[in-house]
Amino acid sequence: MNENKAPAAGEPILVTGGAGYIGSHVVRDLGEQGYRPVIFDNLSSGRAEAVLYGELIRGDIADRERLGKIMRQYSIRSVMHFAAFIQVGESVLQPMKYYENNAFNCLALIKTCLENGVENFIFSSTAAVYGMPEKVPVDEKAALQPINPYGNAKLVSEMMLHDVAVANPDFRYVALRYFNAAGADRQARIGQDYRQPTHLLTRALKTALGQYPELEVFGTDYPTPDGTAIRDYIHIDDLAVAHLLALEFLKTIKQSRVFNCGYGIGHSVFDVIAAAKRVSGIDFPVVQCARRPGDPAALIADAGLIHRELGWKPDVPHLDDIVASAWNWEKKLAASRKH
């Protein structure tokens, strides 16, 4: 790479994992808002064709030397970090995989940022840091008690960011604790496309398309109205908007923060399945299975803080609208793979 390459128009933003589900939607918004995304992704789960704007550089975040060169070449002052493993069940079975990539590699990235003058860091965190909260909706002051290695590794990263920011006044961060990201780009340009999807909505719609013989429901004996787990589903477009607001907050207010990203509305597994059947018009088979380890009964966000401090005003679409955007994407994806 040419260390002396002059930056193109638009502020360069380094986006690790920017070819993945959430990262690619944020890259889309960055490009549409006039930024210059520089995407660094090993494509282990991301897709090159999901990158609608900017420059995609294939590489692994464990490669500190290469990341440092990229930061210097593009004069990076802001980083958005999405590169992480995300499967809760897998984290229980392979905890070291999650600590190594989601925590240790994050530490290496933070160190590289400090060495190269990065000032703003937006971290892709998770509601899993709350574990099984005593009350819902849960706000940012709730006890942090993760119940799986995925949540533990994310919490470790948050703690590192906090301590590093205290020790380095010129380095600031926003950690966004996602609840359940769902849906797809409303023009069906990009969406979720994992090789082994675990998200409920994606699995449901792929089952409707006949790509799976049946949809498994893990746990119907939770202390909830219909016995299935309840989650706060947020449309991916609203989640993407939160990242750009967080970036502007860091650049103008220059203070570190942690924010929940959710609607404050809970939907059960059976609610999502019913919506998937309504939208698709297909009554696909569903089987009931035992609970998965590490799954809390209910996670619903209190997102008052991000509303007040970032001025985040999400669209809050009806569940069927979220499902419809995902259904349009899944149909497009299926059609493209028939040719």
Q: Which two tokens stand for residue 93?
A: 């079975």
The Cα-based distances of 87 to 17, 32, 90, 94, 329 in angstroms read 15, 30, 5, 10, 22
Catalytic residue among 53, 150, 178, 263: 150
DSSP code, position 19: T
Nearest to 71 by CA among 142, 11, 14: 14
Q: How far apart are CA 257 and CA 260, in angstroms?
A: 10
Q: Reduced to 3 states, what is the DSSP secondary structure of residue 187?
A: coil
Tokens matching residue 40: 């660094």
Say whether 51 sits in a helix, a strand or coil: coil
Whether the CB-CB separation of 203 and 278 falls below 8 Å is answered with: no
Q: Is 150 assigned a catalytic role? A: yes
Strand order of the sheet with strand 55-58? 55-58, 36-41, 12-16, 78-81, 120-126, 172-178, 257-261
Place of tokens 């959710």: 262
Instruction: Return d(Cα 9, Cα 125) in angstroms, integer.
Output: 30
Can you tell me the distance from the alpha carbon of 208 to that of 8, in angstroms, rounded to the nearest whole number?
44
Orientation angle between helical segments 105-115 and 64-73, nearest 10 degrees: 40
Catalytic annotation, residues: 150
